Amino acid sequence: MVKVEDFKTCNDSRFCKLHRQFADSATKASKADPQYYVKKDSVAFADNVLSARIVNSQKNIDLSLTATFLEQQIVRLRIQEAEPIKPRYQGCGEHVLKNGEAGLLNSSFSDYNLSIKNSTDGLTTHVLHFGKNSQNHDFTLLLTEKPWSLSILQNDKPTIEVNSLGYFNFENVKTHDSVSSVSPSNKISDATENTPLADNSTQTNTDVKHDETFKSWTDSVPNGPQSFGIDISFPGSSNLYGIPEHASTLSLKTTRGAKEHYSEPYRLYNLDVFEYLEDSPMALYGSVPLILSHSSQHTVGLFSMNSAETWVDITKNQPSNILNLLNKVVNRSNSASFSSSHWITESGVLDMFLIPGPTPKEVFSQYASLTGTTDLPREFALGYHQCRWNYLDQDDVLSVNQKFEEHRIPYDVIWLDIEHTDSKKYYTWDYKKFPDPVFMQNELAKHGRNLVNVVDPHIKTDPGYSISKTAAQNNHFIKNKNGKDFKGWCWPGDSNWVDYFNPESLQWVSEQYSFKNYHNTTSNLFIWNDMNEPAIFNGPEITMEKDIVHHGGIEHRDVHNIYGMLVQKSTFEGLSNRENPPKRPFVLSRAYFAGTQRYGAIWTGDNTADWNHLQVSIPMVLTNCLTGINFNGADVGGFFGNPSSELLTRWYQLGIWYPFFRAHAHIDTKRREPWLLGEPYVSHIRDAIQLRYRFLPYWYTLFYENKQTGMPIARPLWVEFPENSNFYETTTQFMVGSALMISPVLSEGDVVTQQIKLPSQESYYEFDTDYSVPGPETLTMQTPIDKQVIFAVGGNIIPTKDRPRRSSKLMKNDPYTINVFTSMRGEAKGSLYIDDGETFDYKKGAYIYREFSFTNATLYSKDATPKEHIDSDSQKAFIETIKDIRVERVVISKMYNSFTKAIITENGVQREVEVTCTSKNKTKCVIRDPAVLISNDWSIQLVF
Ligand code: NOJ
């Protein structure tokens, strides 16, 4: 059971408590009487930036507000001291934005114009029209002066509102010699309820400290309190999503207000939480400060680019006097639902990107334009990963490998946890257990299989360990307050941590992955970075003290949530550079942040082998996908505890639909490789894993499309059916791409029937059976242990490879099956991306992207490669390598009459082939061996 007392609640955190109290006093105030407002005559618009000063009359606070207009109508809002005593940390963008700060493209601003409106109630509003999107939606920004608030309007309707509840509250940066009368400890006196913001008058008093204590730790808060709080609301919306990582529902629960579901805010602070709860807003290993709002009218988002500890309260229809006042200038329907988020952040700049949508697709593309997408993974990484803490030795690894052969279960990767090392010294082997690691890797490689080794970021303090010695000598370790190497406890005992904020240190670690440095590794070995929050067993909340200072004077407080991402980045670079020509790396990380998607996969950490954790894995994985972290999954089977055979089987059936599919187990659990379950379970697990492999072409294409567009790979139903509000909270069913709707079995025992809802007026086809049914509909289906219900949605075409093999590599030259699922109008479309699966040559054009369409009873395959690559030599050379790969079958599922033959046209030559319509109502027709080539243009016309 999690030790909740090891982790802070909002009340244990001075700044969280302070801002909640401020919000309460703003809500309770009898009239809209704002402390903060826009300074008269301070609003200006120049060079694509709207600027204003926000002041607080009672306190000595003068803030600069800027709103910058970026591509795709994204608005970047920044607030910080106008004349800071000490500048706040500004470096987040360098790590988080895909091309750093310099890479942000401003939109053209030639036709923007700023005007002033004065309402009869004395409200002064600045109005800026900032353009239209491709669908002719008109976007406007409103800035009211007193109270200050900022709204984004789409076609005159507000979609995102900033500070319309009046929760904005800002603590000026102080240093020990410019201090306030703030209470010197983390205890907030009752008096602060009424005057919640500290007086910021600058007195000189070097004795006043801002120490905060939690349990036995004291945080010296050297720059004094510098937190801020702000509310961001979403008019017309009742469902908010995002802000992973939490083990909780997909649609965020309320945390304050009349009907609060949680009493604590959602917390974003990367932490190692032992045996985490399955329904809680507590912080976990990763953080993405991106919230999405969806309603049938529009989808929008808010990305807070800040890597300090953050708490987010969620309210619905929260009363506010300020809002009532603003209603006079904003064209809002009073009856519509109104969801709000209150962001409470400890330090750094208030730096928020208002993401205007208005469709889900646009929101994903807008967010991707900021933090980037996942480059194509190694193809094998989409296969099945077999992990355990620990495979005991080389013989164990090879015998598990052999058992997969015997049981004809495909798999691609076997993993070694910390026990493979010499005394937890990473980059080493325990040669007693692994006498010949290269032999072992080569044995695995014989069937195209790979090895992943864990490399944690704590480095055993040991002058006899060359990594430790070199890092110490070259100042690669984080320093403590006395300027000595910071030391803490982790798996090896006394350990040090590399300062990844020093680019030279990051580079040095990345070089440790070279074949020369990391002995006995081959190009078949990949890396798992665990414990990188960082987990420090004897640190506050099992992590690093906030007042530790990194390279360049960066306080850990400001960058805590980025640390883990830099660990993964360093590994990503190391693996990318270890071969010439380079090959794509594969790195799994536990900690993550916005931008992590560029460096590899993550998993949801140490879950438990019970049905609740099976269930919560779905919203966790989907939420990660919604926030850009697509390559993710949960430990299949549950990490802690021993799953029953039934639970484990059901977990495999679900796990094949996680973008990252790995089974893992704690060292104290019983062995649970699939064959140990015996029949019938092993056969059901084999069936499930084989199904994953059949769909690998579809998965790989989804990864390509995600890279291009930001569209999530696994998707909540609302992304595909945005207008159907019945599915805004659904996680018992979800989508993989636009074509597959998965309805996993999520509970135990005699529940062999399942209720399945078909969300749209479309044809639905059960995959691999002859059953099809028009939606919308609620079905009751039998789901005995050998079955989970998978529907293909009419209108989609899915390429598969149907020959069972031992690993993805061995499927490389296998022929394809093209599965056509026609829509109610008898049409369908789909796509297929193919490249070599391992090099970066795709960047030069060494790939093909095919578009399939089915219309007028004819299936077409056309080249859809983006134009600039069509004639490249690289593409031609690549096509040469796949030129013999055929389509071995076309399966057409349809809701109406049957066909007898088909006319194939390829390279200008026509031939006739037989069509067999098999099912009872002849609704499934098969063309066996049409013998068309996958890289060619062709058509197959069906004839009645
Ligand atoms: C914690 C990780 O979350 C878990 O997956 C791993 O097995 C252990 N550390 C041991 O390395």
Type and span of the H or E element at 416: strand 413-416
* Cα–Cα dist 181/5, whole Å: 30
Q: 530: CA distance to ligand 1 center in Å?
A: 7
* Cα–Cα dist 630/658, whole Å: 9
Asked whether the predicted pLDDT for residue 205 surpasses 80, the reply is: no
| 77 burial type by CB count under 10 A (0-12 exposed, 13-18 middle, 19+ buried) | buried
Q: What is the pTM of this model?
A: 0.96
Average pLDDT over residues 288-301: 97
Q: Which residues pair with 493 in a beta bridge?
A: 490
Q: Is the CB of 606 under 6 A from ligand 1?
A: yes
Q: Give the percent of the chain with pLDDT over 90.
A: 84
Q: Is the CB of 605 under 6 A from ligand 1?
A: yes
* Cα–Cα dist 255/341, whole Å: 10
Class of the domain covering 4-371: mainly beta
Q: Is the CB of 591 under 6 A from ligand 1?
A: no
Cβ neighbors of 259 (< 8 A, separation 6 or more) are 316
Catalytic residue list contains 606? yes
Largest CA distance in the chain: 92
* Parallel, antiparallel or unpaired: strands 796-800 and 828-835: parallel
* Cα–Cα dist 890/828, whole Å: 13
Give the tokens for residue 162: 């900033």
Is the four-CA dihedral 8, 12, 15, 18 of positive or negative sign? positive
Q: Is the CB of 418 under 6 A from ligand 1?
A: yes
Q: How does pLDDT run across 20-30, given as a tens digit for each residue?
A: 999 999 998 87
Q: How does pLDDT run across 116-163, given as a tens digit for each residue?
A: 887 767 789 999 998 887 778 889 999 999 999 999 999 989 999 999
Average pLDDT over residues 733-759: 92
* pLDDT band at 689; cut points 50, 70, 90: very high
Average pLDDT over residues 754-760: 96
Q: Do domains 4-371 and 716-793 have the same CATH topology?
A: yes
Other CB atoms within 10 Å distance of the CB of residue 618: 25
pLDDT at position 944 is 80
Ligand 1 pocket mutation, candidates 530, 537, 607, 666, criterion most atoms within 8 A of CB: 530
* Cα–Cα dist 658/692, whole Å: 10
- Do the Cβ atoms of 526 and 574 come closer than 8 Å? no
Where are the domains positioned within the chain? Answer: 4-371, 716-793, 815-943
Q: How does pLDDT run across 322-361, given as a tens digit for each residue?
A: 888 888 777 776 667 899 999 999 999 999 999 999 999 9
Which residue in the block uniquely carries the two structure tokens 């619905």?
A: 316
CATH superfamily of 716-793: Golgi alpha-mannosidase II (2.60.40.1180)
- Which atom of ligand 1 lies nearest, measured to the CA of 606? 3
Other CB atoms within 10 Å distance of the CB of residue 242: 24
pLDDT at position 117 is 84
| C-alpha distance from residue 676 to each of 16, 417, 680 (Å) | 49, 21, 11
Q: Which fold has domain 815-943?
A: Immunoglobulin-like (2.60.40)
Options 530, 558, 687, 835, the catalytic residue? 530
Other CB atoms within 10 Å distance of the CB of residue 100: 12
Q: Is the CB of 662 under 6 A from ligand 1?
A: no
